[in-house]
Structure 1
């Protein structure tokens, strides 16, 4: 028996889709890590009962933070963009969160930069507010340890590959860190949208849209590049096709980033039957009904989709590119962006 709904929805459902293909399906993925982060902040005295917690988000992190604040009797303030959908906005307000939206911007970079600038203004005027920094504070890694334990217990000793959207770096990074504490050979495959700078693809714009939540146009300190064995860049059209195929073939209704991960994971499972492949479904598909699922007739057959294998970032190309990252670090100097990470100078581990 749970005493708060956040505890009931935080854990994923692990579903077997094929002989060696699994999905860890979350209702909303960041609840687990946010609950753990807030609990530890309270226990350490970094925040006090009744404090106001703030962050920039336009998606599932805003919902997760609002739930955590509701559970622990804290105040929640979200700086979001105009892309926050009505369903989420209503839930946040009824949960007691306050939300302010920055004006629409021409690019994602401008939008994210404006939101961060607004947060800094608020911190200057309200020093009592705690900025959660989901993109930079590695306390968000800790909440994925129980998920890693679930995967390890359920899937056993078979060689394991985890596929997930990179985003802030915490979900995939936290899982890999916890799993590798017991098996260093666990493989991590990160998924990125075109237009994201996290792994050097900001120079290629997706003619569809940038897939929010798994990429970034500003640096995230929580992304530890040396945790990743492979990186795949997937376009909006291919992500849509993956989301529709996942629903059609397996009755799993999940978001756009999950469709990207499904394409990558299904291919890996077919190519490497000796390994278990598990991919992360970060949220349900309800936010994507009009933008994705309403266009299901345009979906491509995923069996005919293949990535372009590349050796360096200057070979990146739409609609799907894949690279052996080989647990290299990444230099964000613009002059190094076209180089292979294996050839780029390595810097100290995060």
Structure 2
């Protein structure tokens, strides 16, 4: 029996949708990483019960960290994006979390920059606060080991292609890392990792191509993230809002899975990878439910293109990126620089954690 609701929320469902197509469905995925990270900090003495944990969030991580703090008797302080909605604001308030929400801003990069600046201001005034650094500390990988064990048990792992939004790198990167270790930690498993990115994200060099609709929050970034391990990824898909919308609508219509926009993008990519390699099983990550996207995505279901009309453009480098969908072999290249683009941030290595 679970001791706290966060443990139940963080436990995903494994659903076989079709032959060699599996959905790893979360209610709220980042609860997994937040719970494990806070538990690790407590166990190692880095924080104590009653301390304040601080971070920036566009929404999902704010809820996850508030739940983890509630579970472990911590205080929670969130610097929130303009995208934090009324429902989440209300939940955070009742859970006892402090939310500072940025003023409305149409520029995601400026919104992220302002949030980071505010984090530093808070730390200067309250050096006793612990900054969780969800985008820069690979302590957030820890919670996915148990998920990888469950996936291995259900699928066997060999001949498995994991597909999901890159985001901070924690979910897809951690799953691939733990799955590749094999069941005994010695015999590597045949696991390929496919990362999904929005246009405009700097993480794998697409900042020069903009999406006329929106950047899909949660799977990309307009600022460098320190805990993305580029060398874990075999293939990348850049998927536009319109294509992801079509994926989300088809996933609900065909398989009755109600999930978010990043899931629609991952579903598209997973279907394509399965068709390219019929001998492999494709598992894609559904990071959250579709409730936040009712008005912006599902209410527009009549606009959704049929999936048969959507095919990725295979490219050799980021200079060839084109909407609505591009695909490129990454070949586990350690950095974005090695694939022919300028360094996104010469200091990003200093953000990496040894935990």
TM-score of the aligned structures, taking structure 1 as reference length: 0.94
Unaligned runs of 5+ in 1: 340-346
Residue among 319, 322, 341 paired with 2:324: 319
Alignment check: 8 A CA contact 1:314 1:338 kept: no
Partner secondary structure for residue 133 of structure 1: coil
Structure 1 Cα separation of the partners of residues 239 and 167 of structure 2:
14
TM-score of the aligned structures, taking structure 2 as reference length: 0.93
Aligned to 2:93: 93
Structure 2 Cα separation of the partners of residues 271 and 174 of structure 1:
24
1:252 correspondence with 2:257: yes
Structure 2 Cα separation of the partners of residues 111 and 64 of structure 1:
20
Deviations 1:58-86 (A, max 9, x none): 22111100000000111001101221011
Unaligned runs of 5+ in 2: 183-187, 344-348
Partner secondary structure for residue 334 of structure 2: coil
1:109 correspondence with 2:106: no
Partner secondary structure for residue 197 of structure 2: strand
Aligned to 1:142: 142
Structure 2 Cα separation of the partners of residues 133 and 141 of structure 1:
12
Aligned to 1:288: 293
Alignment check: 8 A CA contact 2:194 2:234 kept: yes
Alignment check: 8 A CA contact 1:230 1:324 kept: yes
Aligned to 2:42: 42
Superposition pairs for residues 1-350 of structure 1, below 5 Å?
A: 1-156=1-156, 158-182=158-182, 183-331=188-336, 336-337=340-341
User: Where has structure 1 moved over 4 Å in runs of 4 or more?
Assistant: none
Alignment check: 8 A CA contact 2:205 2:336 kept: no
Structure 2 Cα separation of the partners of residues 337 and 49 of structure 1:
45
Deviations 1:20-48 (A, max 9, x none): 00000000001111111100100111001
Please give the root-mean-square deviation of Cα atoms over the aligned residues, in Å: 1.6
- Between the two proteins, the alignment pairs up a number of residues equal to 340
Partner secondary structure for residue 153 of structure 1: helix
Structure 2 Cα separation of the partners of residues 24 and 336 of structure 1:
33
Deviations 1:224-254 (A, max 9, x none): 1000000000000000000000000000000
Shift of 1:127: 0.8
Shift of 1:104: 2.5
Structure 1 Cα separation of the partners of residues 82 and 262 of structure 2:
20
